[in-house]
Amino acid sequence: MQAIERKYHSLIRSAIQQQLRFDPLTETRNRKRLIGENELEARWEIRFGPDNRFRVLYSVDEDDLKVIVLAIGVKQGNQLIVGDEELKL
């Protein structure tokens, strides 16, 4: 989150809590299952914020009932920037 402007940090925290607290395995308009392999082995993505530019990639450990946030990034065109690197999805 250090690469994301500080003014968005509370938005990101509240979106994660709202979207992932209950039923994180249900697809919605802004929560989608990722298809195919990716570098982080994330299985899900939520999008939110101005112009839906923020992305949270996560997986769910169904045995322990845990949501594991793997990355928080910013979508710029066709690129997802996490920190200062482009992540391939």
pLDDT in tens, 58-69: 999 999 989 999
Confidence band, pLDDT 50/70/90 cuts, at residue 88: confident
What is the pTM (predicted TM-score) of this model? 0.90
66 vs 87, more confident: 66
Q: What does the pLDDT read at residue 87? A: 87
DSSP states of the chain: -TTS-GGGHHHHHHHHHHHHSS-TTS-BTTEEE--S--TT---EEEEESGGG-EEEEEEEETTTTEEEEEEEEEEETTEEEETTEEEP-
pLDDT in tens, 24-56: 999 999 999 999 888 899 999 999 999 999 999
Is the domain covering 6-87 a CATH 3.30.460 domain? no
